[in-house]
Amino acid sequence: MDIPLDKWLKANGRKQTLPGDKWYADFASLLLPAVRQSALFKKRGTEAQEQATLALTLYFRDAIAQHGGWTRFAQLYRQRYSRALPFYSTDETYVDDEINLEDIALVLWTQAARPALHRPDDYTLFSPEDERLTVLSGVAYDLMDASFEDAPIIDTPSADWMEGTASLRIAATPLPDARPSAHTPAHALRCLEHSDGYPLLYFADYAELCRFFTGVLGWEDKPSNLLPDLAGRREFVIYANAKGMLLAHSVAACFCDGHNPLYNPQRAADEGYTLFCQPGRCPFDLLKLGMSLGLLPDARFPFHHGKPLLQDNWDFVARYYLGEYYEGD
């Protein structure tokens, strides 16, 4: 089974054929059987197999040409984090203008670990250290290495095909000042006065939250005024700062905070990663504050080495999975 030239052109983000396109379409067709037979993609559908093959071939052509979607991703990542790649350590054998085993592994990781598309919980986790990924990376590297000297340079750059590129362009903004100002909303001021200036408040259930709304914030005790959509929710966190008051539910158990009686280390270990991966699960400013204060030390991916892989790459993980919710309101 071959990769048709039109699919290769579409993956590049253009319709016009250029010199070298047929060579790369043929290379993709050479690579496709290895992807289809791999333990990583054998049980996946034809579309997933072809998409992974096209991604690997795009990486190869970009590495040869030193421009295109992979190059933009790599440059943005290095500018953002001052290192070459997420998840993978690189040493003196890693060369920016060559093909690299670690690059190939990351490309394959993006094909296996997918952000949510239709529902907030419709995301896919995958370990960047999975043995199946490692084996296929080696096979793909060997095929690229054997063809490296023959691979043509295509002058027109490929489109932004690398998943996560757009999120790397989102500017990181500082957290709001914890100190109130003349423009701080009244409800945030009352929160900070109640907590002696500490930005976080914790509430076990909706009834406790409503008592705070009426008794401390002075809200009118009418159901319509007390965020009735939250009835039935539990484990609330309020984050108050000079900008205002942010409220999240179902996350308090994850925050290892001396002010938090709801902290549950086992649940924090089991559920903490969802705050970084599930859009809408936790407001990003609260997540960022939690990481900056060291309040989410238990968060880990649910696979081997899951804690360092998440903790050491949390900002990239959040960008990758949260999409528009990263730095969103």
- Check residue 233 and give its pLDDT: 97
308: number of Cβ within 10 Å: 11
Strand partners, 247: 238
Per the structure block, which two tokens stand in for 72?
Answer: 């933009």
Supply the angle between the helices 101-112 and 69-81 in degrees, to the nearest 10. Answer: 100
Q: What is the pLDDT of residues 112-132, one digit of tens each?
A: 999 998 888 899 999 999 999
Q: What is the pLDDT of residues 22-80, one digit of tens each?
A: 999 999 999 999 999 999 999 999 999 999 999 999 999 999 999 999 999 999 999 99
Torsion angle in degrees (nearest 10) through CA of 55, 57, 61, 67: 10
Residue type, 174: P
DSSP for 28-59 reads HHHHHHHHHHSTTTTTS-HHHHHHHHHHHHHH
Query: What CA–CA distance (Å, rounded) separates 182 from 168?
Result: 34
Strand partners, 241: 244
- Check residue 118 and give its pLDDT: 84
Q: Are 324 and 284 in contact (CB under 8 A)?
A: no
Confidence of residue 178 (pLDDT cuts 50, 70, 90): confident
Quick one: DSSP state of residue 244?
Answer: E
Looking at the predicted structure, is the pLDDT value of residue 179 above 90?
no
Per the structure block, which two tokens stand in for 51?
Answer: 């998409």
Residue type, 237: V
- Check residue 97 and give its pLDDT: 85
Give the rounded percent of residues in the chain with a pLDDT score beyond 90.
Answer: 92
Q: State the residue for tokens 């993980």.
A: 317
Query: What CA–CA distance (Å, rounded) separates 175 from 313?
Result: 19
Confidence of residue 193 (pLDDT cuts 50, 70, 90): very high
Q: What angle do CA 216, 219, 222 make, to 5 degrees?
A: 130
Looking at the predicted structure, is the pLDDT value of residue 325 above 80?
yes
Looking at the predicted structure, is the pLDDT value of residue 93 above 60?
yes
- Using DSSP's 3-state secondary structure scheme, residue 167 falls into helix
- Report the range of poorest mean pLDDT among 169-178, 249-258, 276-285: 169-178
- Check residue 329 and give its pLDDT: 53
Q: What is the pLDDT of residues 254-304, one digit of tens each?
A: 999 999 999 999 999 999 999 999 999 999 999 999 999 999 999 999 999
